[in-house]
Chains A and B, each alone.
Chain A
Amino acid sequence: MVEAVRPKRKSPYPLWFFLPAAVIYGVFFLLPTATSFWYSLTRWDLMTAEFIGLENFHQFFSEPFLVQGLINTLIYAAMTSGLKTVFGLLLAVLLTSNLIARGFLRTVVFFPVLVSTIGIGITFTVMMHPTRGIINVALEATGIDGPGWLTDPALALFSVALVDLWKGVGLATLIFIAGLAAISPDYYEASRIDGATRMQQFRRITLPLVQPATITVITLSLIGGLRSFDLIWAMTRGGPGFSSDVVASVIYKQYQAGFYGLSTAGNVILFALIAAIMVPLTAMFNRREIDQ
């Protein structure tokens, strides 16, 4: 059987054309990645690095809070990603309908994305203060005894995830608005003539046709959630105790303690974790996109 040889397409650009980009990529991306794999195998105090094999990985996995940190990371990523997808889509549907001041409302939804995460974290920390925060003061006025949003170990992670939702939902909405705008109005018109209800239109037309946008939102927010750090650090520092620690904050604490090799090993593990989740997920999404 003769195998069909695909003709090798010759690049229209000469080789030197790629050189600058290749150098930048090599120096700023390949080299640091390679050195970080090396340093993860050492006891490193920034000045000297002593090779200790897989000791750091062993230590990191015996870290008493790593397991909880891993579980928290997964909960946090799944929760923020799921909520952002659902609320992003609903808001996008709302904001593509015929509303008064639609442009203004879109801006308002997007605004939190532009504000500094640390600023948001500090502001919400003040608002979520158990006795003096505006949230609990308001709840008290209506007769409800508000919980310690950030001080109750069972609640802290969820409180931060809700703030993350508020901060990140604007970006998801924006992507969904673009996705919705790409759906031809003909489908809606045709279905209306066939007597479809609004609910049916949403389920049979909007949802399937907006899928590329959904995939983008899920992918982006899942990666964001898995490596999320700044908001958690600004609001709880992984506390109370270790109850809202995620992998990234466990890593940061090792770095803070001066365990540079150990924290590098943690980053290698985080890299592997994100890859292990995202590679099959994107492969699955790509298959589904092709199937359509």
Chain B
Amino acid sequence: MTLRMKTKLTAVTALTALLLSGMAFADTTLTFLVDNNTDSVAAAEALATAYSEKHPDVTVEVEQRPGGGEGDNIVKTRLATGEMTDVFLYNSGSLLQALKPESSLLDLTDLPSQPKVADGFKSVVSADSKVYGVPYGTTMAGGIFYNKKIYSELGLTPPKTWAEFMANNEKIKAAGKVAVAQTYRDTWTSQLFVLADYYNLQAQVPNFAADYTANKAKYATTPAAVKGFERLQDVHDKGLLNEDFGAGTYDDGLRMVATGEAAHYPMLSFAIGALKQNYPDEMANVGFFAQPGDDAANNGLTVWMPPAVYIPKTTANVEEAKKFADFVGSVDGCKAIMAVNTVQGPPLIDGCDLPADVPAAISDMLPYFKDGKTAPALEFLSPIKGPALEQITVEVGSGMRPAAEAAALYDEDVRKQAKQLGIPNW
């Protein structure tokens, strides 16, 4: 061994020792898994920074995963194998129920922040009357984004009924514009007309969610439930869609409604984040209205709940993880998220108010909440959502299958889901 090598070796050893002793200062590192949506990651990073400022001995490491079905698989697999991070972000409602929270997640009912969380949110992260999550973001809504420029050029007003909506569409089409943007390359975007029609469905059939879960009400045999499929078929059959609807993507849809290539794009309000990022100059031109039904007097909004932060039972840092979750659910945590994220609807934590300058689409949304004209989407009222809905709605929206037949087919899909979940009466 030459002298130089010896020196090097000594240096390396010393460095290693230094590093090891540095770690031995017992900083806790919490790992936090989030989906790779820009908004989710930005919020997670902001929370991690804000939390470390308060608790210098804790480092929060953000890990990313893909969204959609692939992300579901990663979360389920990691939970099942005990490889889940200390805290993680995941959907509320029916998707949470599929994780079997009773056996896989820690009970967060007693977190100090819970009393300020809206009850409506708690109900969608609960099982057996125990609360398992804290909200990550604001309320969302499903409805129709519209281009205000086109509306003012053609002298149109946001519709209160489906008939008015279709009349507007005919005028837009006559003016040589695309009336409704549809983007079936991203199949999930095809479900909106069906899912966002739930306010109208529950207005006519108040017991639908309970009867549907109990295998008593079916889509195909409930005329108000078939309506959503019929509306989807209607916009296709009247030739209101963009020419390449079969190959369009979610990003295409946002571009079309933001830049005025299309007048309408049915979507969830989380799109406001992407719109703000990609088309900051067009934000004032993008408005929002609830999916119109048949009754102008009862025009209301279908509401989605944001995802939540959960703690798996397998975490080694129970106390630290709970403290971090408590922070996420607190007013400070909510404000940390709001500082970087786009607001998508009214807040869910008491004392965490919306900033003064919200996008136009949000201001359009707030009156529905003020007037109490909202209803949660079906996936938050029933654990059963058929996995093939997006393929079925692509078929209806492409004119491949009539609405009534599609509703019956979806009932079959729902039956499969219910059986796989082991729900009674199926």
- Min CB gap B365→A, angstroms: 31
CB atoms of A240 and B244 under 8 A apart: no
CB of A43 within 8 Å of the partner chain? yes
Q: Is the interface of B mostly helix, strand, loop or mixed?
A: helix
Say yes or no for A131: interface residue by CB 8 A criterion. yes
Q: Mark B77-89, 1 if CB is under 8 A from A, else 0.
A: 1011100000000
A241:B244 contact, CB within 8 angstroms: no
Is B247's beta carbon under 8 Å from chain A? yes
A50–B421 alpha-carbon span in the complex (Å): 11
Shortest beta-carbon distance from B72 to chain A in Å: 7
A47 in contact with B100 (CB, 8 Å): yes
Contact: A238 with B409, CB < 8 Å?
no
- Give bound CA distance, A237 to B81, whole Å: 28
Instruction: Report B219-265 residues with CB < 8 Å from chain A CB.
Output: 243-244, 246-247
Contact indicator B391/A238 (Cβ below 8 Å): yes
Tell whether A242 pairs with B395 under 8 Å between CB atoms, given A64-B412, A256-B69, A256-B72: yes
Contact, CB under 8 Å: B391 / A239: yes
Whether the pair B247, A150 counts as a contact (CB closer than 8 A) is yes
Interface 0/1 of A234-258, CB less than 8 Å to B: 0001111111000000000101111
Residues of B within 8 A of A255 (CB): 73
A82 within 8 A of B: no
Residue B387 CB within 8 A of the other chain: yes
Minimal Cβ-Cβ distance residue in A for B69: A256
**B35 CB to nearest A CB, Å:** 15
Indicate whether A45 sits within 8 Å of B100 (C-beta atoms), given known contacts A131-B244, A151-B246, A256-B69: yes
Given contacts A151-B244, A256-B69, A258-B98, contact A241 B420 (CB under 8 A): no
Question: Given the known A-B contacts A46-B80, A239-B391, are A131 and B184 also in contact in the complex, defined by CB atoms under 8 Å?
Answer: no
Interface size on A, residues (CB 8 A): 33
* Whole-angstrom distance between the Cβ of A244 and the nearest chain B Cβ: 11
Which of B376-426 touch A at CB < 8 Å? 387-388, 391-392, 394-395, 398, 400-401, 409, 412, 416-417, 419-420, 422
Number of interface residues of B (CB under 8 A): 35
- Taking CB atoms, residues of chain A closer than 8 Å to B80 are 45-47
CB neighbors of B among A11-60 (8 A): 43, 45-47, 50, 55, 59
Q: Which of A47, A50, A130 contacts B243 (CB 8 A)?
A: A130
CA distance A18 to B243 in the complex (A): 64
Knowing A43-B422, A46-B80, A47-B103, say if A131 contacts B243 (CB, 8 Å): yes
- Whole-angstrom distance between the alpha carbons of A212 and B81 in the complex? 47
A150 to B391, CA, bound (A): 15
B104 on the A face (CB < 8 A): yes
User: A45-B100, A59-B419, A241-B401 are known contacts. Are A257 and B387 too (CB-CB below 8 A)?
Assistant: yes
Per the bound structure, the CA–CA distance linking A238 and B422 in Å amounts to 28
A residues adjacent to B (C-beta < 8 A): 43, 45-47, 50, 55, 59, 63-64, 129-132, 148, 150-153, 237-243, 253, 255-259, 261-262
Give me 5 A-to-B residue pairs in the complex whose CB atoms sit less than 8 angstroms apart, sorted by A's number.
A47-B103, A130-B246, A151-B247, A239-B391, A240-B184
Which 3 pairs of residues, A with B, have the shortest CB-CB distance?
A151-B246, A46-B80, A257-B387
